[in-house]
Amino acid sequence: MAKYEIMMIVDPKADVNVAFDLLKEVFGNGVKKAEKLAINELSYSINKSKHAQYVNAEVESQPELISEFVRKSNIVKAVWRQLVINLDTESGLKPTNTKKNSKKTVRKSTPKKVAAKTEE
């Protein structure tokens, strides 16, 4: 069984329990954590609304149940968007190795020899 993180954007006028019920219906006891985040302002309008509720959940399930969840969440009018991330396969961002004050090697240039003109 793989671990997944699910982020849903829900209608701010709807009850957030619709999203929780959907998670419980599809995954059952596979839901490890489900929480309602704040109502935030959106960058662009979704269904003529500039605000939305966010729901974040961590579940452990089979891949077949994920496709079933996506299908059912597309049917529910209160759930506007969903994003499912497989935590087992996603590696995330890797830290960059930036060294400050690193010594750079400078090549010393040797003076070029200029050939003298010979008079004939």
Place of tokens 């499912």: 84
Q: Is residue 93 in some structural domain? A: no
Q: CB-based burial of residue 56 (10 Å sphere; 0-12 exposed, 13-18 middle, 19+ buried)?
A: middle
Q: For residue 93, count other CB atoms closer than 10 A to its CB.
A: 5
Predicted confidence band at 93 (pLDDT cuts at 50, 70, 90)? confident
DSSP 74-99: HH-TTEEEEEEEETTT---PPPP---
Percent of the chain clearing pLDDT 90 (strictly above):
67
For the segment 11-21, the average pLDDT, to the nearest whole number, is 93
Q: Is residue 111 in some structural domain? A: no
Q: Which pLDDT score, from 0 to 100, does residue 12 have?
A: 93
* Residues 32 and 60 sit within 8 Å (Cβ to Cβ): yes
Q: Is residue 9 in some structural domain? A: yes
Q: Is residue 101 in some structural domain? A: no
Q: Is residue 99 in some structural domain? A: no
* Residues 70 and 84 sit within 8 Å (Cβ to Cβ): yes
Q: Is residue 92 in some structural domain? A: no
Q: Which pLDDT score, from 0 to 100, does residue 104 have?
A: 62
Q: For residue 11, count other CB atoms closer than 10 A to its CB.
A: 20
Predicted confidence band at 96 (pLDDT cuts at 50, 70, 90)? confident
State the chain's mean pLDDT as an integer. Answer: 87
Distances (CA, A) of 63 to 1, 76, 88, 119: 8, 20, 12, 87
Between 101 and 77, the more confident residue is 77
78 lies in which domain range? 2-86
Residue 55: which CATH number?
3.30.70.60
Q: Is residue 114 in some structural domain? A: no
Q: Is residue 112 in some structural domain? A: no
Q: How many domains is the chain partitioned into structurally?
A: 1
